Structure 1
C-alpha cells in the first residue's frame, strides 16, 4: 500500500462510527472514498474534524496549504459530495463541514449523477454505509428515542387537531422556519437502488427538498435547483398521493434540519435499515395509527400504502373461540437482538396484505380484489362518485363487469351462510350506471411521480379487457400508450363475443371513452404481425409490449361430418351476430333489433343444437333463439351440478325456451347434400378423472340421434396468433397459450408481456382486468433499468376468514333485493332488458352487508407516517401521539446520551427475563 492511500484509510477510520470495528482497505469506508478522492483532498479532510464547521482560513492553516489551493480543493470536494458548507454563524461567513458518511457525504456523492455514472461503486458505498454502522447500535435505540439520521414526520393533516403536538412534528413549521430558501434534488436512495439493480418501481427524480443553507449547497454544487413554496407544496402533496413517506434529517440538534425527503418504501435507506433490523425506533415519528373497527370497511387502501407492513387486513366478526388476537412484531426492548431477529426479506414482507386468519371473503374471492365493503358503504351513504373512484382503483370497467361478472364475491359472501348473499354485483352496477352518462364520468389523473409524463412509449396489442386495463393503469402512471386492435373498434371479446342482451354496446363504448379522455391512443384496423411488426414498433420507439389478443377462435369437436354446411363454432357465430347488430345500429340508432334486423346469411332457421356447457355456450344458445331458430337444444358432457355455466344463466336460458340435456357428447354429425340434418350423441359416463382433470369417459353403446339444421360448437376457444409473435423468443404451451412468468407475465422475449386469455386460456373479464393491472406494474418496472420485476411487489394475496367459525349475533334481516326488468320479450330482443336497482333498493341491500373485514395495525411496527389516513375514505384510521419522546431532537454527537442509559437498562431487562 502506498503512503498516499494510507491517508485515505486514515480518513475512513476517522469518519466511521462503527462500534468495535477497525476500518481496513476491504471496507467501504476505504474503497468508497478512494474511488473519488485524491490524496491531497484526503490531506485537507484530515485537517478537519467530523461535523465541526471551519472557515477556509482555519482549514488552510491546519493543513499547511496555500489558501487558494485549499479553496480549489474544497470547491471540488463540495461538488464531489465529500464536503458540505453553510453560513450558520453570527457573522454569516462561509464555513465548511466534513460530514458523517450517512446522512452526509455518502448520499451527497450519490446526488452527483455524472459522478455516479463514472463511478458506479459509489452506490455500493452508500448502501453499505447506511447499514454497517447501525448493525450493533440499532437494538439500543430507546422506544422514546429520537431516531438516528432520518426521522419520520407525519402527513400534517393526519395530526389530530385535538391532541397536543410539538412544532417540529409539523412540516409547516419547517417550511416557515426556512421560508424562501428551498431547493429540490434527485433522491440518492432511489438512484442507489436503481444502480444496484434493486429498484422496486419507485423511479428517481426531483423529490428531496433541501432547506436553508443546504438549498444553496445543492444549487451551487449542481445537485439541485431552487424552488418556491408553491412547488414545495406540490411536491409534498404529490408525494402523499404516491405513498411516499416524509422524513426530516435529525442529526443537527434541536429545531434544526437540512432536508425534507419524500421517501419510497423499500428504497429509502433510513426506512430500509429500520425494517432490516426490525427496529422501528430508528426512524418512527411520535405517532402511531389506530383503527376504529366499527368504521373500517376493509377496503385495504391503508394496507396498500403502509410502507412497513404494519397495517394488514383481518376481520371484525367474533368467532366461536372469541375475538381473534393478532400477533405483534417482536421488539428488542427485552430481547437479545442479533441476525436471527433481522428480516432480510422485509421489502416483500411489507407487502403482505392479510393476516393468516383471513379477511372478508368478497375481497378475497374477487380476482381483482375489489374493495367491496368500501363501495357498498359509500353507496349506502349516497357517495356514488366516491364509490366509482374507489372501484376504478382496481377495475376500470365496473359497468361492463356489472353486466357480465360471474360474481365470485357473491358465491363466497358470508351473508350467504345465513340466507342469501348480498347482491354485490347489482350494487356495483348501480354505481357504474352513473358513468354511462358522460357528465358523470370519472377521468383519473394521469401523471408520474414528478407530475410529468414518462418518455417510454408502451404498445398494447389487443383492445379487450386485459389490454385496455393495462392501458388504463399505464396511463395513470404517466406513460404514453397506444392500443393496437385488428378490428375496426376497440372492445375485443367484450364487443364481439358477448351478446348485447347481456352487455350493451353503449356500455362498452362509454367506459372505453374514458380511456380516450385519458389520451390513450387507439389504432384500430391494424393487425400487428401483418400490417406492422413488433420489430418495426421497436424502431418507432416502443419500449415494451403487452400482448392481450384474447382467445377469439373457436374449437371443433374432431368428429366426422363437422365440415357440413350449418356447423359453426359458437365464437364465430357470436362474432357474426355482433357485427351484424353493429351494422344495423349504425344505420338506425333507434332500432330495437331482433332477428328481423339480421342479414339473411347470419339468420338461423329450423332447429339448432348447441354443444357445450359453459357460459359462452349459454350465450350462444340464447343468441340462437334471437337469431331465428325454431328451437334450441343444448347438450353438454357435465351433469347439472358439474356444469361450468352459472346457475342463474342456465335458469335464464331455460326460461327463454332453451332445453338443456346433461351427460351427452358429440359422436358424429349427419349431413345430406352437404348440409346438416342431425347429430349423433353418445352418453358421457364421467367427465373428470380421480385427480379432477378433464378426462371424459363414454358409453359408446348408448347413443341418441337428434335431428336439426344448425349445430353450434361451443366447446372451447383458441388463441389466433397469426404472425404476431413471428421471429420472437416467446414460447407456447400445448394448448396454444403463451408461456410467461406467473407473477410478472414476462415472456422469454424480455420486452413482451402477456395477459388475459392468451396466458390463462379462456376465463372471465374480471380475471383479464386483474391481469392487466399486474401487467402494468411489470412493464412500469421493466422500462426503467435497474428495477426488479418482483422485489417488494404487492402480490395481492388474500385469505378468506373461516366462515364456519364466525358468530353473527345481529344483522339486518331484510331479504335480498331483486332488480326490475324493462318492458319487452327477452328472447325476441337483443337489448338488455335487465334494470338496475333503485336508490332505495341499493340502500336496503347495502344494509345487509355484515362488514366482515377490518384493518388491524401492529403498533410495534407502525412508524407513524400517517399515509394510511390519506387513503381512508371512511375516517376509520387515525394517528395518536403515543410516543411524544420521539420528537426529541439531538445532535448526532449527543445521541449516545440517550442510547447508553437505555442500553444499560435493556441489558438488565434481558438478563432478568432469562
Structure 2
C-alpha cells in the first residue's frame, strides 16, 4: 500500500465540496490529486484560499518559496488543471485561483488529454466529485441552481418573442459580452466518460467554449485554441443540429460566466445531477416546453432529441373512458428524497419513446418507425419535399418501398377499425416519385459534431437494402463509405430478385444515385473473400465492416428428381429474368411455394412464355404468407393457387421434368408454432408439367468471406450477432438484413442498416459504448379497441385506389403498369387520416433547453417562460443563502404531508 501523503490529504480536505466529510486516502479527493500533484505543489496550493484570487507574489510570500520557483509551480499546476487564473483586478495583473473540485480542478484536470490518458483514475475522479457532494443537497436546491454548477440556457430561436425574457437567457448576450475573447476545448465530461469506456457517441473535441480570461487560460495551458465569433456560432449551431444542450457556468454571480458548454445528457455530469437525482431545479432554464396537440402529428423528432425524457409519444384520440391521463415525474418539493427516488439508469430510461398507453399504430408497426402521421400531414398540405425529407430520416429508399413494401403500417392503421386503412403506401409512393427527378431529389446534408468528414473508413459488403441503408446513414454522419458488391450493379435483391413489374430498375437506380451524391463509393464486380479479403481491407485502413450480403441462394425440397432439367430455384429464375427479360420458358410451369417471392416467380413465368402456371403451397388461403393483393394480381393473370400440398417427387424422363407429385399437407406448424409440416401419406396429386420452380426458401452463400474471422454462424447458417448492436464475435464486423434474420422484407433490412450505422459510429471512436444512452426504438401501439371516435369527427370518404395504365395487358410486360396517385387522390386520401398520436411533455421532467422546438416541423411545440426564478444567478459562496430558506420551507411541507 502506498504511503499516505499528508499534504495531499490536507489539500483534498481544503478543496472538497462535501460538507462535513473527513477525507481519507480512499476518497477521490485524495487519489484524484495524488497521481499528479507533488507535495511541493500541495504546499503552494495550501497557501491559497479556495476561489480567492491571488498574485504570484502574494502566494510566494505565504508559501515561503522564492518567487521564481513559485511561478514555475503555479504554471505547472495550471497546466495540470489544479489551478486557474485570470486578470480581473485593477492593475490587470495575473492572479491565480484554487477552485473547488467541481466545477473546477476535477474538470480542468480532465481537459489535459495526455494527463488523463496516462492517469485514467483522473476520469473517475471527475465522475465521483461531480456526484458525491450533491447526493444530499440536490433536493434542497431552489430554482436557478443557487450557484451550484451549470445552468441550461435555451436555444435562442426557441424563446418566444412575445414573452418577456432577460438578457442572461440569450446565447447572443453571452457571446457579445465576451466579444473577441473565445477559445474552444474538449468536453471534460465526454472525455471522462470515454476514458471509462462509457462514451455515448457524442464526441469530446471542440465542444466547450471558454470566454473572457478563461479563453486565455485554455490556450496558454494547452487545453484549447482561440476561435472567432464566426466559429463560436458554427459550434453552437452544430450543437443544436445534433440535439445538444447549451449550458453556462453558474457559480460567479449575476451576469458572469467563464464557459458555454454544449452538452449531452448521457455524458454531461452537470445534466446528470438533475436526471440521476430527479431534481430538475438544478439544471432547468426558465422555460417549459408545451405541445399544441392540434398541430402535433407524433412524428417523434422532439422525443428523439429530448435530453431529459420529458417528451414522449402518446395519443390524441379519446378512449371510451375519456382522455388519457399521463403520469408525471414526482418532484422533491414536499417529499422526503433519497436513493429510492433516484434513477441510476437515467441514460437509457431517457430514451424511452412513448407512454405505456401507446401511440400511433402506423409508426409503431413500421420496422423503421417512420413518421407516417407526419408525412401524411405534410402531403395534405402540399409539402411534398418536406414529406420526403421526413421519410428519409428513417428510410433512405421511399420510392423502392412505395413499390414493394408489405404495408405493416396499413395493416395496423386505426382507420381500418372504421372502414378501410389509409392508403399510406400509395401516398408515400407519390411523395417518393420526386426521387426519380434529379431536380427534386433530396440529398441529405452531412450532420455531425465536427462539421467535416470523419477520417475512419467503413466497408459495407453487399449493396442490398440493408447494406445501402447503413451506407446512407454513415455517409450522412460524415464517414467515407465504400460498398463492395459482387454483381455488376448495386441493389441486391432489389435489382436482381424483384421483377420490374413490381419494382422498376430506374426507381432503384435513382435512389442509389442519392447515395453516390452523398459520397458513397460503390465497387461493383468485387467479391470480398475472393477478389479481396477482410484482412486486406483492414490493411487498407478500413476500421469497421458491415456485412449484408442477403440470402442469395435458393432452396430445394430434397425430393427425388430435383436435378432434372427444368427444375430451378425461384431465386435462380428471378436472377435470370432480371438479368435478361427476354429469358424464355416454354411449356407448363409449377411454382412450389406460397410467399411473395413465389408469387413473383409465378408472374414472371407467365411473362417469359410459360403456357400454364400454377402455384402449390402448404398453407391454406388464410395463412398463405404472400400478400393478399399480390395473390389477387397473380390470379388475375391466370395463375391458379392450390393450397395444402407439398412436393413428394419430381417425375422425369430422359433427365427432363415431366411432372410433379404432391402429397396432402394436414398441418404446417407444431403446437409451439414451429415450422413442422405433417402430411397425409395416402393422399397424392400428380400434375404434368415441363418446369418446376422451387420457391420454398432462400439460403446464404458465404463463400470465403468469413475466412479467418471469429464470426459465428447459427440457425439457418446466419451470422450470430448482438440483437441491439449487430456486432459479431469479431468486434469490427457487424451484420444485418437477411444474413442475420433470415429472409424478411426490405423495410426490415433498411431498419437494421440504420441501427448498424449507429453502432459503427460508436465503435470506430475509442471508449464509446455501443449501448449506453442508445434509443432502443421501442414503441407501443395504442389500444384501438378502447377508442371513442365520433362519426362526425373524421372525413368519411372512401379509400382511394390507384389506377393502371390503359391499353396494356399486364401479364405481357415486365413494366410496372400501376399508376401513382394523382395529386387530387393524395389530398382526398390524406384527409382520411385520424391523426392518432401526439407528443406529451411532462413539465416535471422538462429542463427548458428548447432542443425539441428546433426539430419540430409542424409548429407544435414551443417554450413557455413559466419559471423566471430559474434565471437567477448566484455566487457559489452565497449558495447557502438560497438553499437554507428553501430547504426549511420544503421540510415544513414534508412534515405536513406526514400528518
Q: CA deviation at 1:147?
A: 6.0
Task: Give the match for residue 43 of structure 1.
Answer: 43
Task: Give the match for residue 587 of structure 1.
Answer: none
* The one of 714, 726, 734 aligned to 1:753: 734
- Residue pair 2:145, 2:283 contacting (<8 A) in 1 also: no
Task: Give the match for residue 824 of structure 2.
Answer: 840
Which string of whole-angstrom CA distances, capped at 9 and with x for unpartnered residues, describes residues 243-274 of structure 1?
11000000000000000000122001101122
What is the TM-score of this pair, normalised by structure 2? 0.99
* The one of 844, 867, 879 aligned to 2:863: 879
Q: CA deviation at 1:2?
A: 9.9
Which string of whole-angstrom CA distances, capped at 9 and with x for unpartnered residues, describes residues 259-293 of structure 1?
00001220011011221111111111111101011
The separation in 1 between residues aligned to 2:744 and 2:3, in whole angstroms, is 70
Aligned Cα RMSD in Å? 1.1
Q: What is the DSSP-based 3-state SS (H/G/I as helix, E as strand, rest coil) of the residue aligned with 2:219?
A: helix
* The one of 876, 882, 888 aligned to 1:898: 882
- Tell which deviates more after alignment, 496-505 or 82-91: 82-91
Q: CA deviation at 1:59?
A: 1.1
Task: Give the match for residue 202 of structure 1.
Answer: 202
Q: CA deviation at 1:447?
A: 4.8
Task: Give the match for residue 723 of structure 2.
Answer: 742
* The one of 778, 785, 797 aligned to 1:814: 797
| Alignment of 1:635 onto 2:612 | no
- Residue pair 1:116, 1:123 contacting (<8 A) in 2 also: yes
Which string of whole-angstrom CA distances, capped at 9 and with x for unpartnered residues, describes residues 58-112 of structure 1?
1112112211111111111111111111111232222111111111111111111
- Residue pair 1:146, 1:885 contacting (<8 A) in 2 also: no
The separation in 1 between residues aligned to 2:56 and 2:821, in whole angstroms, is 77
* The one of 704, 707, 713 aligned to 2:685: 704
1:311-326 matches, cutoff 5 A: 311-326=311-326
- Residue pair 1:144, 1:886 contacting (<8 A) in 2 also: yes
| Alignment of 1:399 onto 2:383 | no
Task: Give the match for residue 228 of structure 1.
Answer: 228
- Residue pair 1:530, 1:724 contacting (<8 A) in 2 also: yes
- Tell which deviates more after alignment, 832-841 or 412-421: 832-841
Q: CA deviation at 1:146?
A: 4.3
The separation in 2 between residues aligned to 1:444 and 1:150, in whole angstroms, is 34
| Alignment of 1:913 onto 2:894 | no
The separation in 2 between residues aligned to 1:666 and 1:630, in whole angstroms, is 21
- Residue pair 2:243, 2:305 contacting (<8 A) in 1 also: yes
Task: Give the match for residue 495 of structure 1.
Answer: 495
| Alignment of 1:644 onto 2:628 | no
Which string of whole-angstrom CA distances, capped at 9 and with x for unpartnered residues, describes residues 870-900 of structure 1?
0000000000111100000000011111111
Q: What is the DSSP-based 3-state SS (H/G/I as helix, E as strand, rest coil) of the residue aligned with 1:206?
A: coil
| Alignment of 1:852 onto 2:836 | yes
The separation in 2 between residues aligned to 1:422 and 1:90, in whole angstroms, is 72
The separation in 2 between residues aligned to 1:148 and 1:765, in whole angstroms, is 51
Q: What is the DSSP-based 3-state SS (H/G/I as helix, E as strand, rest coil) of the residue aligned with 1:151?
A: strand
Task: Give the match for residue 586 of structure 1.
Answer: none
Task: Give the match for residue 590 of structure 1.
Answer: none
1:464-543 matches, cutoff 5 A: 464-543=464-543
- Residue pair 2:358, 2:780 contacting (<8 A) in 1 also: yes
The separation in 2 between residues aligned to 1:51 and 1:194, in whole angstroms, is 29
| Alignment of 1:797 onto 2:778 | yes
- Residue pair 1:144, 1:883 contacting (<8 A) in 2 also: no
- Residue pair 1:146, 1:887 contacting (<8 A) in 2 also: no
1:533-682 matches, cutoff 5 A: 533-581=533-581, 598=582, 602-682=583-663
- Tell which deviates more after alignment, 693-702 or 400-409: 693-702
- Tell which deviates more after alignment, 733-742 or 184-193: 733-742
The separation in 1 between residues aligned to 2:143 and 2:684, in whole angstroms, is 78
The separation in 2 between residues aligned to 1:428 and 1:536, in whole angstroms, is 42
The separation in 1 between residues aligned to 2:148 and 2:266, in whole angstroms, is 18
Q: CA deviation at 1:721?
A: 0.5
- Tell which deviates more after alignment, 787-796 or 459-468: 787-796
- Structure 1: where are the runs of 5+ without partners? 582-597
- Residue pair 1:146, 1:886 contacting (<8 A) in 2 also: no
What is the TM-score of this pair, normalised by structure 1? 0.97
Q: CA deviation at 1:720?
A: 0.6
The separation in 2 between residues aligned to 1:863 and 1:159, in whole angstroms, is 14
The separation in 2 between residues aligned to 1:64 and 1:134, in whole angstroms, is 36
Q: What is the DSSP-based 3-state SS (H/G/I as helix, E as strand, rest coil) of the residue aligned with 2:716?
A: coil
Which string of whole-angstrom CA distances, capped at 9 and with x for unpartnered residues, describes residues 788-817 of structure 1?
111111010000000000111111001111
Residue-pair matches, total: 895
Q: What is the DSSP-based 3-state SS (H/G/I as helix, E as strand, rest coil) of the residue aligned with 1:327?
A: coil
Task: Give the match for residue 686 of structure 1.
Answer: 667
Q: What is the DSSP-based 3-state SS (H/G/I as helix, E as strand, rest coil) of the residue aligned with 2:650?
A: strand
Task: Give the match for residue 157 of structure 1.
Answer: 157
Task: Give the match for residue 849 of structure 2.
Answer: 865
- Structure 2: where are the runs of 5+ without partners? none
Task: Give the match for residue 744 of structure 2.
Answer: 763
